[in-house]
Amino acid sequence: MITFETFEYDVLVIGAGGAGLRAAIEASAAGVKVGLICKSLLGKAHTVMAEGGVAAALANVDDRDSWKVHFADTMRGGQYINNWRMAELHAKEAPDRVRELEAWGAVFDRTKDGRILQRNFGGHRYPRLAHVGDRTGLELIRTLQDYGVHRGLDVHMEFTVVSLLMSDGRAAGVIGYERERGRFKAFNAGAVVLATGGAGRAYKITSNSWEGTGDGHALAYRAGAELMDMEFIQFHPTGMIWPPSVQGILVTEGVRGEGGILLNKDGRRFMFDDIPEPYRNQTADNEEEGWRYTQGDKNARRPPELLTRDHVARCIMREVKAGRGSPHGGVFLDIAWIKKKMSNADAHIKRKLPSMYHQFKELGDIDITQDPMEVGPTTHYIMGGVRVDSDSQMSTVPGLFAAGECAAGINGANRLGGNSLSDLLVFGKRAGQYAAAFAKEHRRVPIDRIAAQKAADEALKPFEHGPGKSENPYAIQAQLQETMQGLVGIVRTESEMQHALTDLAALEKRAAHAGVTGHREYNPGWHTAIDLRNLLTVSEAVTRSAIERKESRGGHFRDDYPDKNPEYATFNIVTRQRADGSMEVRREPLPPMPAELKQIIEEQKS
Ligand SMILES: Cc1cc2nc3c(=O)[nH]c(=O)nc-3n(C[C@H](O)[C@H](O)[C@H](O)COP(=O)(O)OP(=O)(O)OC[C@H]3O[C@@H](n4cnc5c(N)ncnc54)[C@H](O)[C@@H]3O)c2cc1C
């Protein structure tokens, strides 16, 4: 029998990335008692890695920008299966959230007249990304953390939540363990906000940190919430590919925003070869025009390197498959070429892209001011997540909210770069506000201590299995990542995904016998065994949803159904756990879009 201490809060936020911190700040501003839990140290959440910027139609660099253009760009990027209400709220509220961040102390790069500077990014019609060099996430976290800590948030760091606890059909709290000592603690709360980030660790090649194991997705699913759009994984076109030890590390889209171009092994700028019809009018048809766009010429159209990520990633794969790739299986990304255009190019590159300069110098021994980088697609972001109400962010489970990367809706089939950091701010705030209101309206119900005990026992099972007669959790995790990378990756087919389901079922059986040695204190094998359950749930949801979507759209490309099917533009795919524990997959019709929003989309098509 495990003993555990119990803490009580009105609102409990799981995750201290941008979404969690923003939610906690807002809930605390509503005057309720807020607890914040995170798996890593405060300040180390994955958001800290965000580079390029936060998208908001401030119109500081191009006064033609507005929430309407941002809304239309987001919907087109998501191929029109986004939750239109979330896309609308996001576009309308992002500018205020960015200005608020500035008021709280964030030091953004500046225009000559002292306003927040904005840069170009893929799929955004005008320069829209407020940024701090290529270290925007660090500044965002630093600012929110500083502000939040001074509001008196109660933080529990290096603590892994293993189960949500339900009482009277509502979320009533969580149970988990301290990573340092292995001690269990329970939390009783009036409302719970999940802000646990993504699930990139289900794949072998990923830009995601170790935390991205889909915990929030799986916790919500097991508590009866619905997941949506899980088939849509974003493979960012430019990750490092060489040397092998750094494979997957992100190369920010900011490089292309600053004028970087993609070349195949023959030095050909292949992105001009294939420009999708919906973007044709807004894309440059020659190199000179593309360059002028990156330098702020309002009469120029964007270069094809700044098309949406799903498209750019597929163009790269096409070059590689056709034997025109770089020596290590990618293509070249060249920013050094801008020397031909500006006299102070070296200093300019180092100033605009300091992290990229150091990343390549230190990890790949490449000076990006002189030589091209070798890049290829890397698993970057999951558009799918917990299905939430667009305004309040409450899931289908009363009292359970979700925000940030672990929630679904705003991005549809593909996320535009920069729209995540703004999503964290806009919907983090909303989740905190509505969770606080929920907690005030509904009295806290006590946690189910038997369920908590059961969850703790379950989490400790790997110690019972012992060495010799058990499975190695690392080996299972590696196999899982191989399966998802190879069979449910950038290009998918029915037969391969059916094969993946069989593999996942076998891995699940093995995971039930995962065993670890040693003590509970900082035991990485144990942590891996616990993560496995979440990764397996997320992987199954991704695979089943991807099988159900028999077309190609956004981040989901089917070799056996290479075209978009208009019928599939009318619904989202939703997964839910049945009473017998199996996974149900169903189609949820998209709510009808109001005429005024339809009109905005039409107006922005030209
Ligand atoms: C290299 C890189 C660069 C990027 N650049 C940009 C960019 O420029 N612009 C942009 O818009 N987006 C960018 N993104 C995407 C963006 O950074 C993420 O989508 C976003 O930061 C996710 O934030 P979040 O708050 O949802 O979650 P995260 O920042 O991932 O935080 C999750 C939190 O949940 C905690 N947690 C998870 N599971 C548990 C558990 N079981 N128990 C307790 N705590 C738990 C973690 O410890 C962490 O505190 C980038 C992503 C990467 C990888």
The torsion region of residue 168 among left (phi > 0), alpha (psi -120 to 50) and beta comes to: left
Pairing type for strands 5-14 and 184-194 reads parallel
300 within 8 A of 283, measured Cβ to Cβ: no
**Below-50 pLDDT ranges, the chain:** none
Rounded to the nearest 10 degrees, what angle do helices 473-487 and 524-548 cross at? 20
Question: What is the pLDDT at residue 552?
Answer: 96
Q: Is the beta carbon of 190 within 6 A of some atom in ligand 1?
A: no
Distance in Å, CA 199 to ligand 1 centroid: 10
CB atoms within 10 A of CB 518: 11
7 within 8 A of 192, measured Cβ to Cβ: no
Global pTM value? 0.94
Positions annotated as catalytic residues are 236, 256
From the CA of 53, give the closest atom in ligand 1: 8
Query: Which residue's CA lies nearest to atom 11 of ligand 1?
Result: 418
Q: DSSP label at 557?
A: E
234 within 8 A of 416, measured Cβ to Cβ: no
Query: Which residue's CA lies nearest to atom 52 of ligand 1?
Result: 50
From the CA of 406, give the closest atom in ligand 1: 26
- Give the Cα separation of 545 and 535 in Å (integer): 15
Which residues, 6+ apart, have CB-to-CB distance to 150 below 8 Å?
none
Distance in Å, CA 555 to ligand 1 centroid: 19
* 3-state secondary structure at position 360: helix
Amino acid at position 187, single letter: F
Question: What is the pLDDT at residue 292?
Answer: 95
Give the phi and the psi of residue 93 in degrees, each rounded to 5.
-95, -15
From the CA of 15, give the closest atom in ligand 1: 34
From the CA of 141, give the closest atom in ligand 1: 29
Question: What is the pLDDT at residue 134?
Answer: 84
Query: Which residue's CA lies nearest to atom 35 of ligand 1?
Result: 15
- Give the Cα separation of 202 and 60 in Å (integer): 39
Q: Is the beta carbon of 15 within 6 A of some atom in ligand 1?
A: yes
Choose among 143, 144, 140: nearest CA to 53: 140
Tokens describing residue 282: 């807004």
Q: With the C-alpha atoms ordered 106, 107, 113, 119, is the resulting torsion angle positive or negative?
A: negative
- Give the Cα separation of 535 and 276 in Å (integer): 34
Question: What is the pLDDT at residue 467?
Answer: 65
Tell me how far CA of residue 105 lies from CA of 25, 98, 595, in angstroms: 15, 11, 39
Looking up tokens 């962010």 gives: 393
Looking up tokens 């098309």 gives: 307
Q: Is the beta carbon of 51 within 6 A of some atom in ligand 1?
A: yes
Supply angle C-alpha 104, 107, 112, rounded to 5: 125
* 3-state secondary structure at position 59: coil
pLDDT in tens, 512-548: 999 999 999 999 999 999 999 999 999 999 999 999 9
Give the mutation target among 420, 426, 526 for probing the ligand 1 site: most ligand atoms within 8 A of CB: 420
- Give the Cα separation of 109 and 115 in Å (integer): 8
Distance in Å, CA 288 to ligand 1 centroid: 37
Distance in Å, CA 420 to ligand 1 centroid: 9
pLDDT in tens, 104-120: 999 999 999 999 999 99
Type and span of the H or E element at 262: strand 261-263
Burial code (b: 16+ CB inside 10 Å, e: under 16) for 436-475 equals bbbbeeeebbebbeebbbebbeebbbbbebeeeebbbbee
* 3-state secondary structure at position 102: helix
Supply angle C-alpha 207, 213, 216, rounded to 5: 125
Rounded to the nearest 10 degrees, what angle do helices 473-487 and 494-511 cross at? 170
Give the phi and the psi of residue 31 in degrees, each rounded to 5.
90, 15
The CB-side HSE value for 205 (13 A sphere, CA atoms) comes to 24
Q: Is the beta carbon of 137 within 6 A of some atom in ligand 1?
A: yes
Q: Is the beta carbon of 12 within 6 A of some atom in ligand 1?
A: no
Query: Which residue's CA lies nearest to atom 6 of ligand 1?
Result: 50
